[in-house]
Amino acid sequence: MRILVILRQVYEQKSIHWDYEINDFRNRKLAINKADLHALQWAADFSEQYTAPIDIMILTEENQNDSLKEILTGFPVESCIKIQKSNSEQMDASHLTSYIGQEAYDLIVCGDETEDEHNTSLLPLLGYSLGMEVLCSVNQIETIDSARLRVHRKEERGAMQIFEIKMPTALSLTSHISKLKHRRKRKKEMDIVIKERTLEPAGLNRRLGAPDPKIIFGSVPQEENPLKRLMNVMGFSGNNDAGLSQQTQALSDEHLHFTAERLMKWLKE
């Protein structure tokens, strides 16, 4: 089994301060996304038990190899590639696909969301592009055999969902997947390979799940049941008019996945 861990560099929330004299942020300190570090810790523990090589790809904004080497000290990493991060997860997923598509990974993992902007779409987009099975917000993984995993995902009110997934697969992991441990310094210094990248203007790209709005006019629902009125407005009711039903015709699987993940997060909050 070969594992790829994707790390994202973020700004530490406690280090961000607004300077009213210069009208800009100051003292912003970059760090590795905490959920991604927990995913790397799980991969390291798994590698020690099953002898699985680990590769790392880091999405970063600044050229700070020394600080990255200090953070990654002690992890059993085969190779580490650093790629410049853009403002679009869709662009980042497409760029990562161009590198990963040439490799044969059985498992791709990263944290379920970033702690600065709470982005969650990178791994689903990447998994779909590579034709892998995708599951998000996993908090426990068990090995069935060399080709299958049993994964657990906690839902609202303490409910637990259990899935059996065939590899290759892509999983986003919560911080509960592992406990961070202190590791000894590597005997051999890690080499970080920097991949050059030309970023396109941010204005040419849009976030997944945020297409150009379409204004659709429909009649006011008359049902007494609030749930039925809501389903009617959303276009999922069989009794609604033709105008509202058009809302569901343009939805892709990616849009539905994005909407479902955001809705579950909103319900938990």
Q: Which ranges constitute the DSSP H helices of 101-202?
A: 122-130
Check: CB of residue 262 under 8 Å from CB of residue 209. yes
d(CA 166, CA 254): 21
How confident is the chain (269 residues) per 10-residue block, as mean pLDDT? Answer: 91 74 75 91 91 90 67 81 86 87 86 85 90 91 91 83 92 92 61 61 47 58 76 62 55 68 73
Residue 244: what pLDDT? Answer: 52
Rg for the chain, CA atoms, rounded: 21
Residue 96 lies in domain? 3-204
Burial (CB count <10 Å: 0-12, 13-18, 19+), residue 226: exposed
Which is it for strands 17-19 and 192-195: parallel, antiparallel or unpaired? unpaired
Check: CB of residue 164 under 8 Å from CB of residue 25. no
263: Cβ contacts below 8 Å, ≥ 6 apart: none
Q: Is residue 269 part of a domain?
A: no
Domain count of the fold of the chain: 1
Residue 196: what pLDDT? Answer: 60
Judged by DSSP in three states, 39 sits in helix
Q: Which two tokens stand for residue 68?
A: 């990255």
Residue 73: what pLDDT? Answer: 74
Q: Is residue 268 part of a domain?
A: no
The reported pTM is 0.68
Q: Is residue 192 part of a domain?
A: yes
Say whether the peptide bond before residue 53 is cis (omega within 30 degrees of 0): no
- Could you say which DSSP state residue 202 is in? G
Q: Is residue 236 part of a domain?
A: no
Q: Is residue 173 part of a domain?
A: yes
Judged by DSSP in three states, 114 sits in coil
Listed residue (125, 98, 91) closest to 110, CA to CA: 125
Q: Is residue 245 part of a domain?
A: no
127: Cβ contacts below 8 Å, ≥ 6 apart: 108, 133, 134, 169, 170
d(CA 136, CA 172): 5
Q: Is residue 257 part of a domain?
A: no
What CATH number did the domain enclosing 191 receive?
Answer: 3.40.50.620
State the angle between helix axes of 122-130 and 89-100 in degrees (0 to 180), rounded to the nearest 10: 40
Q: Which two tokens stand for residue 208?
A: 């997944």
Handedness of CA 216, 219, 220, 226 (dihedral sign): negative
Helix (H) or strand (E) holding 165: strand 160-166
Q: Is residue 220 part of a domain?
A: no
Residue 80: what pLDDT? Answer: 87
